[in-house]
Amino acid sequence: NAGVTQTPKFQVLKTGQSMTLQCAQDMNHEYMSWYRQDPGMGLRLIHYSVGAGITDQGEVPNGYNVSRSTTEDFPLRLLSAAPSQTSVYFCASSSGGVQAFFGQGTRLTVV
Amino acid sequence: AQSVTQLDSHVSVSEGTPVLLRCNYSSSYSPSLFWYVQHPNKGLQLLLKYTSAATLVKGINGFEAEFKKSETSFHLTKPSAHMSDAAEYFCVGAGANNLFFGTGTRLTVIP
């Protein structure tokens, strides 16, 4: 099925651990992005990419890395997890402003 | 700069009464605009989208929205609220290579 596949759905990390959130789309979209959602703050843009090999920072990039080696995949890496990174993370893809597709979200807890 | 502004962070209505969730946009051109709904602990589900065709857009679950260029608005309405409509609603704009989010409106439906 076409869409955005985001994994894992839930994750608990200890402070200082690293992990990668996976995001893949099969719609050949150029634009992919990562957001975090915190209570009362809506969705805030972490990093985005407008095509393979091109990434850029969003509103809250600190503590996160991304890469875009293929059009399909856009993983988000937490380098050294901190409790402030406890959040719900969403991946999205879109093309030409037609429609944005979202992954199901990852609920991350850092203890 | 492109942006969307959701004018109300919280809207409360009685079951069976009309719903109005307000969204204004700012863009140098007519963007694609969307409304998404997020139920508790769920992902974002597309309600409807405007992509420069008909200005009155009908979506799922009885929702509709009207694009008004003169008012730079894209308000979401429903004639009669149902308990299952209680959720967070996001107005989202899409340019050629970016997405821009409103901060969300939490809809409460009172029985």
Distance CA A21, CA A106 (A): 8
Distance CA B23, CA B105 (A): 10
- Report the chain A residue with the minimal C-alpha distance to residue B95: A97
pLDDT band of residue A27 (cuts 50, 70, 90) is very high
Give the model's pLDDT for residue B8.
Answer: 95
Annotate A7-63 with three-state secondary structure.
Answer: ECCEEEECCCCCEEEEEEECCCCCEEEEEEECCCCCEEEEEEEEECCEEEECCCCCC
| B96/A96 Cβ within 8 A | yes
Query: Would you say residue A98 has pLDDT above 80?
Result: no
pLDDT band of residue B1 (cuts 50, 70, 90) is low
Distance CA B74, CA B29 (A): 14
Give A99's contacts in chain B (Cβ within 8 Å).
32, 34, 46, 49, 51, 94
How close, in Å, is residue A16 to chain B by CA atoms?
26
> pLDDT tens digits, residue range B72-83?
999 999 999 999
Residue with tokens 């409509």: B85
Under 8 Å between Cβ of A7 and A21? yes
| A98/B43 Cβ within 8 A | no
Query: Would you say residue A1 has pLDDT above 80?
Result: no
Please give the average per-residue pLDDT across B85-100, as a whole number.
88
| A90/B43 Cβ within 8 A | yes
Q: Which two tokens stand for residue A104?
A: 């199901």
Under 8 Å between Cβ of B34 and B13? no
- Report the chain B residue with the minimal C-alpha distance to residue A90: B43
Residues in CB range of A80: below 8 A, 6 or more apart: A16, A17, A18, A63
- Hey, which residues 12-71 in chain B have their CB within 8 Å of chain A? 31-32, 34, 36, 41-44, 46, 49, 51
